[in-house]
Amino acid sequence: MNTPYAARSRPQPDTRPRFDRSAPAGVAWHTVCLSPHFDDAALSLGGLLHRRAATGLGVLVVTVCAAPPPGALSAFAAAHHRRWGAGVGGERSAAAAMTATRRTEDEAALAALGVDGRWLEIPDAIYRSVPGGRWPYADPDSLFGPVDELEHELFRSLTATLAALPGIGRDTEVVAPLAVGGHVDHRLVRAAAEAWRGRRQGLRYYEDWPYAGDEDALRAVVDGSGLLPVVESLAAENVDAKVRAIACYGSQISTFWEHLDAMAEDVRNHALRRGRLLRSDHPARWPPPLAERLWHPDPERPAA
């Protein structure tokens, strides 16, 4: 993905990320997963994060869009809050309470995975406005489209904030979203990760799930990208931990599933589908393998 906005300089107020000092100090991280929203890391990579942490490796999830709304809500954001369970869609206090609820859900989910967390003070796209008071993401088409050109300062600030995260060395595995599905916050996080680490400094990509359940949408992102698939096996306890973590997001379950049992079945079926990629030499293997998949830059392909 090309890095946007590099040559622009108009300031953007009130969007500078600041660290949340929740993760322990002095840790050298083995794996850092960049999660655009409160649930993306658990949804997309929960099994692998749990497996890493269970072996004693230092694993950190950085949730990027973790700040409450800075002001009034758009009608689009208010509709989201009504679905998530906020009492009154347009009141600032109700909006802040909804963000606090989602943060608590995220903390519980990361605890279920056995990983550490850090939360940045950037509002979700549906909460952000640009100079002039316009909400750039006020409908589904804009939310799943390009990053607004007036958010270049946010992009630069996020890139600098990621570069300043403590405990990250050249050998740290940094995992960013592929941005399957095109959600603007996923695009923003991927672009900032690439501007920070490049594609040769331990940067990996995860399949944004459940968007990546659409194989056509996934192929649209990875075909011709110079990325190579790496399937990583999971134990049943890793998938069980992922199910428990996702269940912590009570406000979000109805976005994708009718109930928790449907979620658990979907998560396990997805792990089985990825596990089939490990069965080519032993199709009769039992029990069937479970897996998640990362994408690595091709070391033989020149960096863009």
- Name the residue ranges covered by the structural domains of the chain: 31-278+286-297
What secondary structure does DSSP assign to 25-40, as a single string?
Answer: TT---SEEEEESSTTH
For residue 287, the model assigns a pLDDT of 76
pLDDT at residue 87, rounded to an integer: 40
> Which is it for the CA torsion 265, 268, 271, 275, positive or negative?
negative
- The pLDDT, as a whole number, for residue 71 is 83
pTM of the predicted structure, to 2 decimals: 0.86
Q: What is the pLDDT of residue 253?
A: 80
What ranges make up the beta strands (E) of 187-289? Answer: 203-206, 227-234
Instruction: Evaluate whether 98 touches 251 at the Cβ level (below 8 Å).
Output: yes
> What is residue 143's predicted lDDT score, i.e. its pLDDT?
95
Q: Residue 300's pLDDT is what?
A: 65
Please name the helix (run of DSSP H) or strand (run of DSSP E) that holds residue 84, with its range, or none. helix 75-84
- Burial-class residue 132 by CB neighbours within 10 Å (0-12, 13-18, 19+): exposed
pLDDT at site 283: 61
CATH architecture of 31-278+286-297: 3-Layer(aba) Sandwich (3.40)
Cis peptide before 299 (omega within 30 of 0): no
Cα separation, 205 vs 91, whole angstroms: 37
Low-confidence ranges of the chain (pLDDT < 50): 1-16, 21, 87-91
What is the CB-side half-sphere exposure of residue 214 using CA atoms within 13 A?
11
pLDDT score at 22: 61
pLDDT at position 245: 96
Q: What is the per-residue pLDDT for 278?
A: 85
Q: What is the torsion angle, in degrees rounded to the nearest 10, for the CA atoms of residue 278, residue 281, residue 282 and residue 288?
A: 10
